[in-house]
Structure 1
């Protein structure tokens, strides 16, 4: 089922607070029940041509397949227009997901999944989620972002352990209280100590700022650099060097 987390960074302006960044981060484990696991699966995605970032938790097959289709559609100017506002982009992406889901073989549909979509129009950030629930129907919701640097979403089978750890960073006396880095620190701690067998591997992060498009971040683990490497046709893989 995995663990996926999203958070925002907020700047304190003289007259008001403004969101300056949004992130989606996940673990890297794919599981097939109790049959096996793979700790180098890609669960976060980003467009190089539009300010769009994605991530998913739950069933692996459909979300990974559909996001692998959506990214090149966006990057090649097919799915979205530069004039589309956040709601228009979200509607187009949800429509694409829904149409593909209607044609997907029902016997291969997992129990549930959530697809996150972070976007920006001009200087305003939005976060949406597409959910497959127990009724096997898709629905889309907007996630409230607020105006403080904090976690805005956690999901997947590892979310319970993450949320429990997160209580430490929610204390005002914590050095990282109300900072965006606090969420990543909590995610890192959770993945190191996770008991959920369906969650594991290294973290992966994609972010969005006030300008330009998606940014994929690498991490350093045991003095080795780990990063998401984008190949042709929009496919991604985890790479070590």
Structure 2
């Protein structure tokens, strides 16, 4: 399965950021796994981000096709708003599913979609398929403070156990606590269906969806894929396991970047 979570960051006036993060493991049984599977996605030409958990093959194929359609400007008509884009993505997922052999799927599939109108009007919808009930679309309430929006997947109970430790401390409901909670959970998670490096996408008040590089165990990962030293990384924003802004080349915190408390200490 997966550990998939979404959260919102707020400043004193408005939502300033919206994130989706996950692990990178695809598993078939307790002995068969692949730790480099992409599970979160950012649209390049629109303010939209996605993440999935549950079944793997259908969302990997279909979401990448949807992103290619968006990149080539054939998915969204001009001037579509956030709700229109959400409905079009949901319709595309349902349409492609009509010809898909659902008998080969896991029992469920859940997809988080976050979108934005203007600079402040964010929405979050959950697209769900189950063998019992078919497809459904649900709107999620957005917290009035920085906090999680939804946590999904087989690893969510272990995540909540860890996150409760942060809620007892000073960091509480912050972006750093949620991301650190994910990273810390993955370091010693007992659910063998979850693992690999954290991966992260985000949406801000301006611009379109954004991919982040993540420094994990002193190695560099982008959307689950480990990068080597020869690959171009200068145009990527990086976060370490503490959610600090860092340099992709050296993996060290950037000069002038705000340091975060080390919540990963046992």
Query: TM-score, length-normalised on structure 1?
Result: 0.90
Choose the corresponding residue for 2:219, options 197, 214, 224: 224
Corresponding residue for residue 189 of structure 1: 184
Displacement of 1:102 in angstroms is 1.4
Going from structure 1 to structure 2, the CA distance change for 1:162 and 1:82 (only over 3 Å counts) comes to: farther
Displacement of 1:81 in angstroms is 3.1
Choose the corresponding residue for 1:69, options 57, 65, 68: 65
The range that moved more, 81-90 or 46-55, is 81-90
1:89-141 superposed Cα distances (whole Å, 9 cap, x missing partner): 11111110001111101221221110111111112111111111241501011
Distance 2:183 2:47 in 1: 26
Question: Secondary structure of 1:78's partner?
Answer: coil
**Counterparts of residues 75-224 of structure 1 (less than 5 Å):** 75-123=71-119, 124-171=121-168, 174-224=169-219
Distance 2:96 2:182 in 1: 32
The range that moved more, 183-192 or 83-92, is 83-92
Displacement of 1:64 in angstroms is 1.1
Distance 2:76 2:126 in 1: 18
Where does the alignment leave 5 or more consecutive residues of structure 1 unmatched?
Answer: 229-236
1:62-102 superposed Cα distances (whole Å, 9 cap, x missing partner): 11111111111112111113411111111111110001111
Query: TM-score, length-normalised on structure 2?
Result: 0.82
Using CA pairs below 8 Å that are at least 6 residues apart, which structure has the higher relative contact order?
Answer: 1
Displacement of 1:146 in angstroms is 2.0
Question: Secondary structure of 1:12's partner?
Answer: coil
Distance 1:222 1:160 in 2: 23
Corresponding residue for residue 232 of structure 1: none
The range that moved more, 186-195 or 102-111, is 102-111
Where does the alignment leave 5 or more consecutive residues of structure 2 unmatched?
Answer: 229-266
Q: Is the 8 A contact 2:198 2:216 kept in 1?
A: no
> How many residue pairs end up in the alignment?
227
Corresponding residue for residue 239 of structure 1: 226
CA RMSD of aligned residues (A): 1.4
Corresponding residue for residue 2 of structure 1: 2
Distance 1:115 1:25 in 2: 12
Distance 1:215 1:182 in 2: 20
